[in-house]
């Protein structure tokens, strides 16, 4: 039987798992509930048991799997050590060593989930065909991943790619979840866009489609109204795109990737969003016409399992 590899994406609600051919073809995917009680002690045993069960159902021997990769929601050191994963309850442990032991010594490699998702997009998604990409995920927060020469760049302290916590806005009074102020995440995440809309409605008396939503306005509402030509919604998205373009320009001048890949729930706005970002990105990078483009992610929620599988093939 041809060899297989496994990708594991550990989330706060479910663990996504996929079996792949070595060329990146996804054969089967499934989910395992994330049991976080008692410090998440059951998560890895549950994953191992599930993998054994599905491999048996698919008539795949454990020996025919070259290894498994794992995306973890927190900083991961090169040797797999994790100091803390707040959303899982994990502290001071090495998940890849534990999972390897549970799977009869199967080779396991692990990385931060955002970095791993970026690797997946490079391998089989919106960044396919490129070796150097930076992925920016616009969801509840703003995440990022840096891939250079097809390798994850995690940094000495696991902080590389934390694009959401670059400070770009002076005068911000509210604190970000990282305890800083003026972070990209505070303006460009789904929650940040909604907050910008509430601020805009409070600051102005202009008629707007946004007012029908009031304080429960969402990022999707803002984007839908902006696409419909609503002036206040367009103003909000102009602010969001200004700061995102600024952040990408700083990253471009530091890392100089071939491509930025925009993912996360907000990216469902498609080229309407990327065109707005592109406008300011171009304005803030006048030094050269030869620079990274901006594309949309294509793997959606599967990016993590693709990237995790790719991890083990290095």
Contact 244, 282 (CB under 8 A): no
DSSP 8-state secondary structure symbol assigned to residue 167 = B
Asked whether the predicted pLDDT for residue 1 surpasses 80, the reply is no
Confidence of residue 106 (pLDDT cuts 50, 70, 90): very high
Number of structural domains the chain divides into: 2
Please indicate, yes or no, whether residues 262 and 135 belong to a single structural domain of this protein: yes
Q: Two tokens at 245?
A: 């373009």
Report CA 247 to chain centroid distance, whole Å: 16
**Pairing mode, if any, of strands 259-263 and 14-21?**
unpaired
Tell me which residue range forms the domain holding 81: 4-120+302-311
Asked whether the predicted pLDDT for residue 51 surpasses 90, the reply is yes
* 3-class secondary-structure state, position 90: strand
- The rounded distance, in Å, linking the Cα atoms of 184 and 264 is 15
Please indicate, yes or no, whether residues 138 and 99 belong to a single structural domain of this protein: no
Please indicate, yes or no, whether residues 173 and 261 belong to a single structural domain of this protein: yes
pLDDT tens profile 289-308: 999 999 999 999 999 999 99
Please indicate, yes or no, whether residues 102 and 154 belong to a single structural domain of this protein: no
- The rounded distance, in Å, linking the Cα atoms of 219 and 231 is 15
Please indicate, yes or no, whether residues 83 and 33 belong to a single structural domain of this protein: yes
Sign of CA dihedral 178, 179, 185, 191: positive
Contact 186, 176 (CB under 8 A): yes
- Burial classification of residue 25, based on how many CB atoms lie within 10 Å of its CB (0-12 exposed, 13-18 middle, 19 or more buried): exposed
pLDDT tens profile 118-157: 999 999 999 999 999 999 999 888 989 999 999 999 888 7
CATH assignment of the domain containing 157: 3.30.420.40
Please indicate, yes or no, whether residues 283 and 307 belong to a single structural domain of this protein: no
Backbone angles phi and psi of 180, in degrees to 5: -85, -175
Please indicate, yes or no, whether residues 88 and 208 belong to a single structural domain of this protein: no
Contact 174, 128 (CB under 8 A): no
Please indicate, yes or no, whether residues 83 and 173 belong to a single structural domain of this protein: no
Please indicate, yes or no, whether residues 260 and 248 belong to a single structural domain of this protein: yes
Predicted pLDDT at 73: 86
Query: What residues form DSSP beta bridges with 18?
Result: 7, 29
Please indicate, yes or no, whether residues 306 and 261 belong to a single structural domain of this protein: no
């Amino acid at each position: 039987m041809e060899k297989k590899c496994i990708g594991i994406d550990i989330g706060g609600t479910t663990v996504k798992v996929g079996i792949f051919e070595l060329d990146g073809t996804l054969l089967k995917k499934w989910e395992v509930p994330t049991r976080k009680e008692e410090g998440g002690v059951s998560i890895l045993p549950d994953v191992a048991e599930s993998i054994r069960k599905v491999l048996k159902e698919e008539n795949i021997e454990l020996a025919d799997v070259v290894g498994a990769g794992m995306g973890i929601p927190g900083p991961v050191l090169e040797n797999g050590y994790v100091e803390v994963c707040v959303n899982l309850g994990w502290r001071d442990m090495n998940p890849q060593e534990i999972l390897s032991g549970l799977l009869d010594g199967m080779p396991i490699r692990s990385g931060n989930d955002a970095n791993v998702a970026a690797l997946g997009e490079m391998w089989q998604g919106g960044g396919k065909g490129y070796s150097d990409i930076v992925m920016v995920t616009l969801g509840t927060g703003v995440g990022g991943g840096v891939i250079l020469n097809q390798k994850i760049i995690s940094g000495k302290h696991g902080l590389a790619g934390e694009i959401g916590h670059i400070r770009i806005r002076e005068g911000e009074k509210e604190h970000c979840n990282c305890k800083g102020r003026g972070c990209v995440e505070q303006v460009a995440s789904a929650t940040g866009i909604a907050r910008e809309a509430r601020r805009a409605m409070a600051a102005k008396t202009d008629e707007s489609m946004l007012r029908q939503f009031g304080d429960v306005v969402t990022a999707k509402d803002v984007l839908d109204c902006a696409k419909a030509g609503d002036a206040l919604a367009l103003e909000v998205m102009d602010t969001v795109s200004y700061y995102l373009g600024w952040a990408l320009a700083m990253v471009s001048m530091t890392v100089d990737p071939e491509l930025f890949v925009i993912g996360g729930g907000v990216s469902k706005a498609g080229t309407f969003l990327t065109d707005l970002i592109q406008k300011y990105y171009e304005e803030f990078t006048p030094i050269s016409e030869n620079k990274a483009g901006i594309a949309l992610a294509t793997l959606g929620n599967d990016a993590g399992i693709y990237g995790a599988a790719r991890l083990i093939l290095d």
